[in-house]
């Protein structure tokens, strides 16, 4: 699961600035050495030890488990904002390119207030 998480993070381009991923791998190795076998999902005691280690990592990083939905919402907001900015940039570039075309140079801009919707129905 940690390897899959790492792949997803790298594909999406999210940097691991805090080094949390390395700490998670260390915690997994520590738990596996402690139980002297690979950790399986159905191993309740092993998973409890791993969660205890993860809680210690979260505490060290200043992450509260109860606030994870808030962090997720903030991240989604940042992603949406970045996508919106990219979309806006593309639209502005397209509009500027249309303005520069020769076929539109001789036409005057239409006054939007002078248009009557009834003429187009």
pLDDT digits (tens, 9 = 90+) for 33-54: 888 888 777 878 888 888 888 8
Residues 6+ positions from 38 with CB-CB distance below 8 Å: 32
pLDDT digits (tens, 9 = 90+) for 103-118: 666 667 677 677 777 7
Contacts 24+ apart (CB under 8 A), 75-80: none
> Global pTM?
0.48
Tell me if 45 sits within 8 A of 32, measured CB to CB: no
Please give the full DSSP string across 26-48, using - where no structure is assigned. HHHHHHHHHHTS---TT-HHHHH
Where residue 28 falls among pLDDT bands split at 50, 70, 90? confident
The ranges assigned to domains in the chain are 1-63, 66-105
């Amino acid at each position: 699961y940690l390897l899959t998480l790492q792949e997803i993070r790298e594909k999406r381009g999210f940097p691991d600035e805090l080094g949390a991923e390395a700490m998670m791998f260390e915690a997994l190795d520590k738990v596996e050495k402690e139980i002297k076998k690979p950790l399986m999902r159905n191993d309740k005691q092993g998973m409890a030890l791993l969660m205890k280690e993860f809680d210690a990592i979260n505490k060290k990083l200043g992450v509260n488990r109860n606030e994870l939905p808030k962090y997720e919402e903030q991240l989604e907001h940042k992603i949406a904002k970045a996508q919106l900015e990219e979309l806006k940039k593309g639209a502005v570039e397209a509009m500027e390119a249309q303005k520069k075309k020769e076929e539109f140079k001789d036409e005057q801009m239409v006054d939007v207030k002078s248009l009557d919707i009834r003429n187009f129905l």
